[in-house]
Every structure is written in C-alpha cells, then in structure tokens.
Amino acid sequence: MSDQSFHTEAPRRFLFLDAGARPDGNTVQLARLAAESSLPVGAEQRWLRLADHPLPPFQDLRHAGGGSYPEPEGHERTLLEATLAATDLVFVAPLYWYTLPTPAKLYLDHWVGWLRVPGLDFRARTAGATLWGVTVLAGRDGAADPLAGTLRLTAEYMGMRWGGLLLGNGSRPGDVLHDERALVAAKSFFAG
C-alpha cells in the first residue's frame, strides 16, 4: 500500500450567507439547486440567514485612538466564526438596486473592523478561501455588473479566489425555476 492511500484532503466547508429580505425567494432556490447538484463530494454546508443575525451599524474607528476594534460579540461573533470556519463563502444575494442587499453590504463593512481586531489575523485566516455569488434579478443581466464587481474586487483585495457569479432571472418566488439557462448553469456551478 502506498503512502498516498493515506492522504485524504480535508472536506471543503461552504458557508451560504442568505442576504435576501424574504424567505424562500428565487435566489435561495437557485443556490439550493446549485448546492444539491454541484458541491464537491464530502463538502459540508452551512446556511445562515443574515436577517436572523442582525449586525449593529458599522463604526469607522480606523483613525480613532489606536485604530483597533474590540472582540466581536453576539450575532457579529457568530458570523465571524462561521466566516473563519469556511473554505468557501457564498453570497446568496438577490439583486437590490444593482448591487448587494443591505445586510450583505453591512456584513462586508464589518470585515474592516475584523481586519483590525488584535490577534485575530482575519486576512491571513481567510486568504485562500473562495468567494462565490448567487443572484437573481428581474431585469437585464448587465444590471448585476456592480454586484459581480463588488464581490470579485472584494475577493481580490482579501487574497481570496473568485469563484464566479451564478445569475438567474425572476421576480415572483419560483420564477427562477423556469429560467433554463440558470438551471443549466446551477448544475455545474460549484464544480467549476
């Protein structure tokens, strides 16, 4: 038996962050389909609704006092720990005004604080993770360019890999299940 037979890779851990403002909307439905059909074998998945973990307003303390942030508590702590545990971070984010819904944007704003919590090493511990986006919009595809750009540039800034954006079309919940192109893309999305 060769040494290689003992070599097993740690399972990927996908964190799905649902940023939508209604339960079971099109975006979650599309993300669920992609997870069911294209997650790597053995991958773990955790789903969190940002609405269930409301964050306090972000305060810009970068240039106040020593510029450091306190240890996060409460919902912020839950989201921080879930983020640190993930190898793959999936923004399940309906398109709102061409970009991310407010809870997703607020969560990202808090990264600025997490980067400055003494001893946390947020950047080093998240570098190498893969960032993905799943979105559904009612209008034309190009309207999601700002959302795609926000996530892709965030990944670049953080030293993360950009996995890409899965895009669907719909308005009323369930509409996206009639978007053939999105259904086909979902089948292989996380395998790409």
Q: Give the whole-angstrom CA distance, residue 31 versus residue 12.
A: 17
- Asked if 84 is part of the footprint of ligand FMN (rule: CB under 6 A), the reply reads no
Identify residue 30 by its one-letter amino acid code. L
- Asked if 22 is part of the footprint of ligand FMN (rule: CB under 6 A), the reply reads yes
Is there a contact between 14 and 43 (Cβ–Cβ < 8 Å)?
Answer: yes
Determine which residue in the list 14, 15, 27, 182 makes contact with ligand FMN, applying CB under 6 A. Answer: 27
Nearer to ligand FMN, 85 or 138 (CB): 138
Nearer to ligand FMN, 70 or 142 (CB): 142
- Asked if 143 is part of the footprint of ligand FMN (rule: CB under 6 A), the reply reads yes
Is there a contact between 112 and 58 (Cβ–Cβ < 8 Å)?
Answer: yes
- Asked if 26 is part of the footprint of ligand FMN (rule: CB under 6 A), the reply reads yes
Nearer to ligand FMN, 25 or 163 (CB): 25
Choose the binding region for ligand FMN from 39-47, 50-58, 64-72, 96-104 (rule: CB under 6 A): 96-104
- Asked if 139 is part of the footprint of ligand FMN (rule: CB under 6 A), the reply reads yes
Q: Give the whole-angstrom CA distance, residue 16 versus residue 78.
A: 14
- Asked if 103 is part of the footprint of ligand FMN (rule: CB under 6 A), the reply reads no
Q: 66-95 burial, b for 16+ CB within 10 Å, e for fewer?
A: eeebeebeeebeebbebbeebbbbbbbbbb
- Strands 88-92 and 161-169, by their bridges, are unpaired
Strands (E), the chain: 13-18, 44-49, 88-92, 130-137, 161-169
Choose the binding region for ligand FMN from 50-58, 122-130, 131-139, 147-155 (rule: CB under 6 A): 131-139
- Asked if 112 is part of the footprint of ligand FMN (rule: CB under 6 A), the reply reads no
Nearer to ligand FMN, 59 or 171 (CB): 171
Q: Give the whole-angstrom CA distance, residue 141 versus residue 21.
A: 21
Choose the binding region for ligand FMN from 25-33, 44-52, 60-68, 120-128 (rule: CB under 6 A): 25-33
